[in-house]
Amino acid sequence: MTTLATPAKYSSNRRTALRTADIVAVISLAIAALLAACIALGGAALLLTETVFAAEPVPATPSDAKSGALLMKTRGGATTTAPLLHTDVDIRVSGMVARAVVRQTFRNPSPDWAEGIYVFPLPENAAVDHLKMRIGERLVEGEIQERSAAKKTYEEAKASGRRAALMEQERANIFTHSVANIGPNEEITVEIEYQQTLRYEAGSYALRFPMVVGPRYIPGSPVATAQRTGWSPNTNQVPDAARITPPLLRPGEATRPINPVNLKVSIDAGVAIESVDSPYHPVQVRRLDQEKSEIRLEDGQVASRDFELKWRLANDAAPRAALFTETKADKTYGLLMLMPPALQARAKALPREVIFVIDTSGSMHGESIAQAKEALEMAVRRLAPADRFNVIEFNSYARSLWNDARPADRDNTDLAARWVNSLKAQGGTEMAPALNFALNGNETPGRIRQVIFLTDGAIGNEDGLFHLISGKLGDSRLFTVGIGSAPNSHFMSKAAKLGRGSFTHIGKVGEVKEKMLSLFAKLESPVLKGLRVEWPQGAQVESWPARLPDLYLGEPLVVSFVTDQPVGAVKISGWRGETPWAASMSLDQAADGQGMGVLWAREKITALIDTLREGANEESVKPAVVQIALDHHLVSKYTSLVAVDKTPARPAEDVLKTALMPTNLPEGWSYEHVFGELPQGATDMRFNLLCGLLLMLTALLMARRRTARVWQ
């Protein structure tokens, strides 16, 4: 039976329906407006960034492609031909020190006057002390200046039509070259020199030359900037993001690889060399004698992955100690390397609590995530039954396998292995939540707490993460495992140093077993702690690092120092558990070295910059850094090298076109996952604005039509 509503009841129902319709309409409008606002605001913020791009890659026309030219979009929307780049590297190794000359040739294939801006990497411990600019037969020597003064010198030269080159440091391992007034069809070569100490471990030296700055994940909200920008906008968390994320060459923008590289390494080990290996690049090796070798990169290589060279010393030739000194004015600068004796494993090892952290962000897609998963599964399977462990993955968010560490029994390790194998690379690279979870700041009496962090380090907010590690380390030890062809070695090595652990790099799947077994040997071996150096009595000495690190199996102690009294014995002592250890050597037996002063200055500058994260005032740190850098002719956070030709070359009536020069995508990375994960300014944000406005209009129309239907 159907009941019909009376007029009064109908009126009441109608009012109720109207109120319901109003509520639904208001909610619909509110939701749509919120979504629209998010899209519109995001679009507006990034649209603001897009308008200040100095250059952006665009597809080349067929005629351009034949010449290898790459077109770039200027601020006004016009296109200009970007300068082409070629890099030549000559590295000379003497013992434990490398001296490198890097020549970057900028060629302008267009009929216009050009300025080329190129962001490139160098080793994180490189002490850059020379810059030269070559135009034809003319050679202009660079000068070291305070950063703002060097920038002003460069801009004035650029505006007046004079050729100029400027080198600026963005991070310890990222630099920018700006080269102004490159004439039509002209070449300008910028030559830099740097010096570095080499990494020595378990009988082998390793030299690393990074070739590409990979895309970085940049957290934070975009902010307006007047600086020339790169691939990502500056944000409130990374205010210089635009300067560390150069434009990325995309598919279809060039018909052949860009940025070709020639590289030669000459090794004088001083002792017999057993073998030489280049794990990531094809090379030609020429043995000159037992102690000397010459290595050349095969033709056709481009800047798309880091170059690494290793040479193993003969068993009976591995140095127990090395000492080099250099005298300048009334000071003697020195570099000391001392290898502790091999330590036997503990009779009874302490149980461990091991926290594994794996990066599953989009930049890890492909070979990198395969390497990381294989390495992590191997580590989990190796745990002892008495150990406890947990696994954390992170991308845009962080999540753990369990809420707390669990025993490493068969059931738990099997479950962890299955969980790890199911992980996929996607999303952003938010490291802070994962580090917060892994580094709980607590003490773990009766256990050794170790955090193993597997990542490519593709982030731009290094300083914030370093501060987090320092504040929450507690009694944990942090071991970083760099994954992929171009990891952020500055972040990885510094994080391990702050975490009192060590850094391991895995560049290809075939290395996983070897590299992880080497790491396991460190994790399971005793550590030499409490190290201290006693210098000759009465000598005035300043040495770095000021606080000596713990030493792991196969690692040497390396100390850079300056003294007014290079005679007498230096003694190093420490503890292996409760057993004392000591060694000494005479400063009188030092070999002659070159560049010891710049190595010492580089270490002191690094130490001063580190104090900023510990609360030091930049107003007191900056002048000290500037003075040391000026005294030793070094590029730093606050100083730059600039070279200016005296004669104007560009006619005043000719326009100078600026182009940010793109970099290759690091080998093994995926365009789809990188562009889906990392913020970048090539997306047309006007489309987002339009979508937002359309959503708001649609919501309003829906509300009006719904209300009209109720009243009908």
Distances (CA, A) of 540 to 93, 127, 571, 589: 30, 24, 15, 19
Query: What does the alpha-carbon distance between residue 442 and residue 449 come to, in Å, rounded to a whole number?
Result: 10
pLDDT category of residue 493 using cuts at 50, 70 and 90: very high
pLDDT value of residue 77: 55
pLDDT value of residue 70: 67
- Reading across the β-sheet that carries 541-544, which strands appear in turn? 541-544, 557-563, 331-338, 321-328, 591-592
Mean pLDDT along residues 57-82? 53
Helix, strand, coil tally for the chain in percent (to 5): 30, 35, 35
Q: Is residue 697 over pLDDT 80?
A: no
116 closest CA partner among 149, 147, 86, 150:
86
Mean pLDDT along residues 204-218? 93
The residue whose two tokens read 């040497």 is 556
Residues 678-702: b if buried by 16+ CB within 10 A, e if exposed: bbbbbeebeebbeebeebbeebeee
Helix axes 431-438, 462-472, angle to 10 degrees: 10
195 closest CA partner among 473, 595, 571:
595
Interior angle at CA 77, CA 74 and CA 79, nearest 5: 60
Higher-scoring residue by pLDDT: 339, 194: 194
Q: Where are the alpha helices (DSSP H) in 147-281?
A: 147-159, 241-244
pLDDT (tens digit, 9 = 90+) per residue, 497-555?
999 999 999 998 889 888 998 898 888 877 888 899 999 998 999 999 988 888 888 88
515 closest CA partner among 206, 213, 76:
206
Residues 44, 690: contact at Cβ < 8 Å? no
pLDDT category of residue 677 using cuts at 50, 70 and 90: low
Which DSSP letter does residue 113 get? Answer: E
The residue whose two tokens read 């005296």 is 646
Mean pLDDT along residues 649-662? 92
pLDDT (tens digit, 9 = 90+) per residue, 624-634?
999 999 999 99
398 closest CA partner among 418, 374, 372, 423:
423
Residues 430, 458: contact at Cβ < 8 Å? no
Count CB neighbours of 642 within 10 A: 25
Quote the tokens at residue 489. Answer: 């070695």
Residues 295, 284: contact at Cβ < 8 Å? yes
Helix count and strand count (H, E) for the chain: 14, 36
Q: Is residue 178 over pLDDT 70?
A: yes
Residues 372, 358: contact at Cβ < 8 Å? yes
The overall average pLDDT reported for the chain is: 84
pLDDT category of residue 691 using cuts at 50, 70 and 90: low
Query: What does the alpha-carbon distance between residue 424 and residue 366 come to, in Å, rounded to a whole number?
Result: 10
Quote the tokens at residue 44. Answer: 């507006």
Distances (CA, A) of 563 to 542, 547, 570, 572, 630: 7, 18, 12, 17, 20
Q: Where are the alpha helices (DSSP H) in 576-711?
A: 596-613, 618-632, 671-677, 685-711
Q: Is residue 22 over pLDDT 80?
A: no
pLDDT (tens digit, 9 = 90+) per residue, 556-579?
999 999 999 889 999 999 987 778
Quote the tokens at residue 14. Answer: 């109608």
pLDDT (tens digit, 9 = 90+) per residue, 227-256?
544 567 889 999 999 899 888 887 777 666
pLDDT value of residue 71: 64
Which DSSP letter does residue 75 get? Answer: T
Higher-scoring residue by pLDDT: 601, 440: 601
339 closest CA partner among 207, 205, 202:
202
pLDDT category of residue 55 using cuts at 50, 70 and 90: very low
Judged by DSSP in three states, 376 sits in helix
Largest CA distance in the chain: 113
545 closest CA partner among 481, 482, 498, 613:
498
Query: What does the alpha-carbon distance between residue 373 and residue 9 come to, in Å, rounded to a whole number?
Result: 68
Looking only at the bridges linking them, the beta strands covering 113-121 and 352-359 are: unpaired
Interior angle at CA 76, CA 71 and CA 80, nearest 5: 20
- Reading across the β-sheet that carries 273-277, which strands appear in turn? 199-201, 204-209, 307-313, 273-277
Q: Across the strands, what pairs with 140?
A: 133
Mean pLDDT along residues 122-144? 96
pLDDT value of residue 701: 61
Query: What does the alpha-carbon distance between residue 93 and residue 195 come to, in Å, rounded to a whole number?
Result: 10
The residue whose two tokens read 């009012």 is 15
Query: What does the alpha-carbon distance between residue 507 and residue 305 come to, in Å, rounded to a whole number?
Result: 9
Q: How far apart are the first and last CA of the chain?
A: 27
